[in-house]
Structure 1
Amino acid sequence: MTHWTPALVEERLAEAALILRRLPDPRRRGYFSTWPEIVHSFADKVCQEPKQMRVLPSPQAISRMEETLTWTGCLDPIDGKIVWMKAHGERWKEICYAVGLQRAAAHQHWAYGLSVIALTLNRQPVNRQLSKRKLIRLARGA
């Protein structure tokens, strides 16, 4: 059994966000193309950028991602939004603009969200009466 820390939770959320980006785009059923696939000649490919290869994630990675998606259910909506935006690699400037908080407050909400998730995964009680700073300190030291 793993002892969860906020740093491990952050890594797992970042992995889940990466896997979500790597999944193929959903397709609508019933639509298809009767056009033949276009075969480009060498002259057509000279100035083109190479296509990005899409590597599909493994089934184990998808299972871990699905498990991780449920973790933010115990958070306040603003904390969950900040945690997921940071996991997707958003810059603090965009996060602060989206949630309407200063950078220091947004960072505290992010650390608090990671700490609540870590304590919940460790099956430790989360005392909502504690201040955010004390709960963050408790999760880091535990």
Structure 2
Amino acid sequence: MKWTPSLVEERLAEAASVLKRLPEPRRQGYFNVWPEILHSFADKVGQEPKPMRVIPSPAAISRMEETLSWTVGLDPIDGKIVWLRAYGERWKTICWTVGLQRSAAHEHWLYALCVIAWRLNRRKVPRLRSRRYVIEMVKGACEDPASHPN
């Protein structure tokens, strides 16, 4: 499988979704001795329904665990932007959080996706090159030459 920045983005979004759906951690040794309250129909009228929590599959959890290690070695700001974006945060919120303008935050995010894709394809990321050069290099390498009639 050849990794592209868009595939990396999809996988990170899936991992964030799985993390949101995991059950809450519980402390060991604590329990509740109160009986469960059974509500009648009249009690439930006007209440908001509880959101349905779908537990992720074991395969999805395994992919999520694999994906968690992808941001190790990235610049901390890049890693933060990648995970905030994977969780679906708006760019405005991301910019406030990391203290960058929209275009700079987007370039950090795109660079991080390209670095992850490059590493997953078992290639060495050039250290002494600009972010823009690495982004263009990865985009050029990920394009399928058969799709271009030239």
TM range (shorter): over 0.9
Q: Which amino acid aligns with 1:119?
A: W
**Structure 2 unaligned spans of 5+:** 142-150
Using the size of structure 1 for normalisation, the TM-score is: 0.98
Q: Deviations over 1:77-116 (max 9, x none)?
A: 1100000000000111111011100000000000000000
How large is the Cα RMSD of the aligned pairs?
0.6
SS in structure 1 at match of 2:95: helix
Larger mean CA deviation between 126-135 and 4-13 belongs to 126-135
SS in 1 for 2:109: helix
Aligned residues: 141
Contact 1:14 1:87 in 2 (8 A): yes
Aligned to 1:19: 18
Equivalence for 1:65: 64
| 1:95 matched to 2:68 | no
SS of aligned partner of 2:128: coil
Residue identity matched to 1:53: M
The 8 Å contact of residues 82 and 95 in structure 1, kept in 2 or not, is answered as: yes
Match of 1:42 in 2: 41
- Structure 2 distance, partners of 1:119, 1:74, is 13
Runs of 4+ in 1 over 6 A off after TM superposition: none
Q: TM-score, normalised by structure 2?
A: 0.92
C-alpha displacement at 1:74, in angstroms? Answer: 2.3
Extract unaligned runs of 5+ from structure 1.
Answer: none
Alignment of 1:73-112 (within 5 A): 73-112=72-111
Query: 1:25-65: per-residue Cα shift (whole Å, max 9, x none)?
Result: 00001111110001000101110111111110011100000
